[in-house]
């Protein structure tokens, strides 16, 4: 028994001393960011796609090879058709996004900072949220026709709802401790909104921007296939009639690139504006 106790004492004595005030911290985050890590997944898909096309495992009548898509893209650029359709799609998507995003933000501020505003606005918005935007297409066609106004309005409706939900959640989710601190500091109503509520709602605002912009692109795909004479969706619907899978994939790639690029741009702005906020991805 004595021998065992002495051996334990020697092991304790030889343990490395821990510096005063120093606490070891176990890292629980996902790790360091990988440079250009978001491009790894798409590149891997292209590699698999290329191998399947080159070996004949993928029927070109079902899905054209990547090099065929590349050639078709060049032909569409040389003819000027791709630029024309991209410009028409960008105008619809951005105009609908700007109108819907502005309206959604304004309604969220009114509802999130006023009980009367919330009583008047939140109910109808939640009802609209439960109704698929695409389900409104027949009614909006009867009201607005099938021209450009209809397409912009349907995109704006989708963007407004997602913008409203995110911003309203950010405005009403302020920690109550900040409210009590503002009351102790004798903040006026405007000072409280400017220094506490609006800065605290910025993360929700950027989430709303990203969601509403994403759904603007998604709705655009649908509306451009309804009696449109230009746009990426129109180009894809025309290619469907002639079984041109290469043109269809070009349209999908364009949608994907614009969606990915716009979201990446918003993420960059968000990191700059909210540089004070640390998350698992920072």
Cβ contact 207:166 at 8 Å? yes
Query: Measuring CA to CA, which residue among 252, 171, 169, 158 is closest to residue 214?
Result: 158
Burial pattern 55-84, b for ≥16 Cβ within 10 A else e, equals eeebeeeebbbeeebeebbeebeeeeebee
pLDDT of residue 269: 87
φ and ψ of 276, to 5 deg: -75, -15
Q: What stretches in the chain show pLDDT beneath 70?
A: 1-31, 36, 276-282
Query: 108-138: per-residue pLDDT in tens?
Result: 999 988 889 899 999 999 998 888 888 888 8
Structure tokens at 5: 């106790």
Fold of the domain built from segment(s) 81-273: MetI-like fold (1.10.3720)
- The residues spanned by each domain of the chain are 81-273
Phi then psi for residue 214, to 5 deg, are -60, -45
pTM, two decimal places: 0.77
Q: How high is the pLDDT of residue 153? A: 93
> pLDDT, tens digit, for every residue of 148-175?
898 999 999 999 999 999 999 888 887 7
Q: Would you state the pLDDT for residue 41?
A: 83
pLDDT of residue 121: 93
List the structure tokens of 97: 């996004």
Spatial distance between the Cα atoms of 237 and 62, rounded to a whole number of angstroms: 16
């Amino acid at each position: 028994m004595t021998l065992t106790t002495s051996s334990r004492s020697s092991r304790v004595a030889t343990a490395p001393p821990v510096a005063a005030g120093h606490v070891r911290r176990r890292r629980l985050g996902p790790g360091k960011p990988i440079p250009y890590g978001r491009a790894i997944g798409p590149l891997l898909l292209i590699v698999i796609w290329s191998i399947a096309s080159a070996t004949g495992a993928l029927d070109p009548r079902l899905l054209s090879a990547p090099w065929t898509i590349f050639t078709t893209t060049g032909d569409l650029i040389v003819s000027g058709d791709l630029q024309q359709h991209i410009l028409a799609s960008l105008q619809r998507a951005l105009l609908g996004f700007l109108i819907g995003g502005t309206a959604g933000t304004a309604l969220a501020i009114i509802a999130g900072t006023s009980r009367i505003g919330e009583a008047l606005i939140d109910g109808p918005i939640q009802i609209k949220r439960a109704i698929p935007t695409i389900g409104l297409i027949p009614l909006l066609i009867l009201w607005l026709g099938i021209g450009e106004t209809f397409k912009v309005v349907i995109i704006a409706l989708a963007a407004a709802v997602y913008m409203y939900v995110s911003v309203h959640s950010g405005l009403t989710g302020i920690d109550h401790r900040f409210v009590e601190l503002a009351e102790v500091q004798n903040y006026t109503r405007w000072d409280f909104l400017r220094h506490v509520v609006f800065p605290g709602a910025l993360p929700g605002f950027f989430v709303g921007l990203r969601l509403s912009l994403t759904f603007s692109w998604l709705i655009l795909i649908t509306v451009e296939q309804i009696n449109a004479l230009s746009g990426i969706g129109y180009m894809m619907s025309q290619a469907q009639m002639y079984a041109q899978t290469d043109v269809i994939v070009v349209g999908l790639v364009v949608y994907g690139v614009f969606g990915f690029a716009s979201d990446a741009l918003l993420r960059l702005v968000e990191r700059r504006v909210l540089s004070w906020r640390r998350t698992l991805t920072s």
